[in-house]
Amino acid sequence: MAKMDKLVLGAFADKVLTPDRLQAMLREMKGYLKGAHSRQGESLALLQKELTELETATNRLYEAVEKGLLPMDQTLTDRAQKHKARRDAVMIEMAQARRQEEMPVSLLTARQVEAFGIVRYARG
C-alpha cells in the first residue's frame, strides 16, 4: 500500500505541482482573497450599522424607564436581554470578520512557491 501511495503522490506532484501550476494557483488564491476581503468590508459595515441600531434601541429603552414612561417589568427585561444577546453576537461576528480581513493577501510569495517547486523536484 505504501508503494502505491508513493506512486500516486509522485504522479500527482509531477502533473499538478509544477512550478507554473503553483504560480497560477497562487495568483488565483490571491485574487480570491482580495475578493473575500472586499466582501468582509461590506459585511463589517452592515454589522456596524446593526450594532449602532441595537445600542440606540437599548438606550431608548433605558431612557424611557428612567423618565418613568415604561415600567421596569419582565417584558422590558426580556427585551433588554435580547438586545444584549444580539449585541454580543454582532460583536463576535465583527471580530471574526476583522480577523479575516486582516489576513495578508501576500502571505505566500511567488518566490516561496518557486522554492517549493524546486525543492519538490529536487527530491523527485
Give the structural domain span for 58: 42-124
DSSP annotation of 16 reads T
Rounded Cα distance, 36 and 27, in Å: 14
Rounded Cα distance, 102 and 46, in Å: 18
Contact 96, 12 (CB under 8 A): no
Q: Does residue 32 lie in a domain region?
A: no
Q: Does residue 35 lie in a domain region?
A: no
Q: Does residue 110 lie in a domain region?
A: yes
Query: What is the pLDDT at residue 12?
Result: 77
Q: What is the pLDDT of residues 13-32, one digit of tens each?
A: 777 777 778 778 777 877 87
- CA-based nearest residue to 114, from 26, 29, 31: 26
Q: Does residue 15 lie in a domain region?
A: no
Query: What is the pLDDT at residue 56?
Result: 96
